[in-house]
Chains A and B, each alone.
Chain A
Amino acid sequence: MVVAQRQSLLGIFPTAEAAAEALDELGEKAGITPDDFDVLTSSPYPEGAFGEKPVAHRLYIFPIAGALCGFSVGLLLTVGTQMAYPLITHGKPVIAIPAMLIVMYEGTMLGAILFTILGILFESRLPSFGVGLYDPRISEGYVGVVVSTTSDKVPVVERVMRDAGAADVVAGPPRGS
């Protein structure tokens, strides 16, 4: 059985409207669905502006996990220190819970923040080695449309993009599907 090769193309469009029109044309003429394309912009756009599929993520798990870890570390640190040095200070009990709460709280928040940062990077699929199919003009305001399609449709996609006003169309190397 012959496995169809897939290839990515990057079209650079001077305006967001041109990129959106190109995506409409690609959908009609080349059967490109939201699963097949990605849009590269220099700033965020309103969700769904290009007809892309909603972003699914599980970012919210990370702060919860981090908070639990941080809470445990804070608890161990405070309880452990007080038990290691069981000295009475100013009439307070050896395990002085009101005084422990602050270090436990800070540990919880630090854990939550650290894990959130990790989660953001993970869910953003960063770090990524190299930028892949990309054009520096995107940071100047151009909109990049990256389409992944089978190798036999590449000429169709390229023609549709150029007809829709792409300033440039760059093809990536073919890869096995």
Chain B
Amino acid sequence: MPRNTHRAVHHYRPHVITVPPAQVVADGRRLMRPGGAYGLAVAFFGLLFLLGVVGFILRLSGGTEHRAGWAYFAATIAFILSTFQAAPVVAVAGRLAKGHWRRPVARALEMCSLAGLVSVLMVIPAALVLPPTFGRPSLYFDSPLGIPLVWNLVILGALFLAGLGLVFLSARPDRAMVEASEGDLSGAGAWPGTTRQWRVLEKGMTLLSAFYLMAYVGAHTVFSTDFVMSQVPGWHSAIFPALHGIDGLQAGCATAILVMALVRRFGRLEAYISVDPFWGVSKLMLALTLLWMYFHYAEFLTLWYGRTPREIAVLTLLYGGPYLGLFIVEFLFVWLIPFIMLLIFPVRRSIGGNVVVALSILFGLLLDRIRLYSAAFSVEDVFEHMLETVPGPYIPDLVDIMILAGGISGAVLVYLLAVRLVPLLALWEVRQALLLSRAIPYLRTEATVVAKPE
């Protein structure tokens, strides 16, 4: 132990959770019975969701011939896929890489996958609006099995179910713990917490995590190809599905930052969630911001370099023509501001700075999805060999805004309702952190030790 404390040097050390185990369970119980602002939030987002439903009915009543009118509907699904359904990837990646920082926030992030219910429901009418795949380039090569509705339902359904499995599998011990602490031991009987049960749980989580990752990649590949690329004649870009996914991952990190900040603030979890998870995610966010530029530049340069009319028409539609202004604003918010801010170390290692960056990225991604889907849905003749006429910009009406707001609110609503079923804090993971990380004296300082049982 230090004898001369005036010589102790204070510098940053990884946070160690020091909450007593019983308090962890009590906090989990408190989180499942939220009050105050929770009710207001449910009411607010519920109302917006209902407005969205009204908007959908109004749009449906206008028919499905005018495809451009469904652009915002598809963009909403893409936004949810790229934000709520991408945020769990951060937790999943943390789990697969065995990073300790994920423990207090893993459940809150994995619960974002439940918003996939909204995308699964929304994809049904969206897929029915798409023109037939026969006679134009698509993933299905004119096969009779090439029905976008089926394949999009399958892949989005798989993604949602993987997320659902992740949440409820990992919540099982927590629900038993919370119920037992309230005197209800019926759940604890099904989960006494034997060694075998824990091994099966951890194995199952690893498998589901890997499956979630694969489903995420598949969902972006299928959805982006069917709803964007295959509707633009002459656009054959092998990188676009991956680009759509990477943009989603960047926004997923931003969503994760926002969710962690809100959960920390409104769940009063300051003792659990320090700046460490924010710092960890922001490094990933910086890498993905750089990758955003990389993927976009790779696609742009390849299409631009040869100067063929077919490819220049595609670039005009997506970047330099009707959506130039939108792209410039998008570029500012999804790349320039985050890149400059994230280069600054104090921003990366702060909660407020990361939240500002996250909001910028989310706004930029929203514009990106609007740009892509408006452009794709505006093309009149999808059966041409190349884009002969670049359509003008699609200007949204009130119904589009209602649908956009309603869809996103629906996703938030699903999350809020799930809060009452599953503790926001992964109690067993946090209690594992209590066992596996300690602050110990080291010579004349204090050090954080992280155990590596594997």
Contact = CB atoms under 8 A, between A and B. Distances in A.
Direct chain A–B contact by Cβ atoms under 8 Å:
yes
Nearest to A51: B7
Interface stretch (A17-25, A114-122, A153-161): A17-25
Contact of A47 (B11, B304, B305, B306): B11
B328 to A, nearest CB: 15
Contact of B7 (A17, A27, A99): A27
B4 A20 contact: no
A98 B296 CA distance: 12
A95 to B, nearest CB: 14
B447 interface: yes
Given A51-B444, A60-B345, A24 B4 contact: yes
A108 to B, nearest CB: 13
A52 interface: yes
Contact of A54 (B3, B11, B305): B11
A48 interface: yes
A27 B300 CA distance: 64
A24 B304 CA distance: 68
Interface in A45-65: 45-54, 60
B4 A27 contact: yes
A49 B345 contact: no
A90 interface: yes
A100 B64 CA distance: 45
A170 interface: no
A101 interface: yes
B307 interface: yes
Given A53-B9, A54-B11, A98-B301, A48 B445 contact: yes
B229 to A, nearest CB: 21
Given A47-B11, A52-B9, A90 B442 contact: no
Given A20-B443, A23-B444, A46-B442, A51 B301 contact: no
Interface string A92-103: 100000110100
A16 interface: yes
Interface in B414-452: 442-445, 447
Nearest to B304: A98
A28 interface: yes
Contacts of B10: 48
A96 B300 CA distance: 13
Contact of B443 (A28, A49, A60, A91): A49
A50 B300 contact: no
A46 B307 contact: no
Contact of B8 (A48, A60, A92): A48
Interface in B140-183: none
A141 interface: no
Contacts of A52: 9
Contacts of B442: 46, 49
A97 B11 CA distance: 45
Contact of B9 (A24, A48, A92): A48
B134 interface: no
A49 B447 CA distance: 9
B297 interface: yes
Contacts of B3: 24
B396 interface: no
B9 A17 contact: no
Interface string A6-35: 000000000011001001100110000010
B2 interface: yes
A108 B10 CA distance: 36
Nearest to A16: B443
A53 B444 CA distance: 12
Name the residue in B10, B442, B444 with the highest tally of chain A Cβ atoms < 10 Å from its Cβ.
B444
Interface string B309-322: 00000000000000
Please provide the 6 A-B residue pairs with the shortest distance between their CB atoms, ordered closest to farther.
A48-B9, A51-B7, A48-B445, A91-B307, A51-B444, A49-B443
24 contacts: A16-B443, A17-B443, A20-B444, A23-B7, A23-B444, A34-B7, A46-B442, A46-B445, A48-B9, A48-B10, A48-B444, A48-B445, A50-B443, A51-B4, A51-B9, A51-B444, A53-B9, A54-B11, A60-B345, A90-B305, A92-B305, A98-B304, A99-B305, A101-B297
Given A46-B445, A51-B444, 9 more contacts: A23-B7, A47-B11, A49-B443, A49-B444, A51-B7, A51-B8, A51-B445, A98-B304, A99-B305
Interface of B: 2-4, 7-11, 297, 300-301, 304-307, 345, 442-445, 447
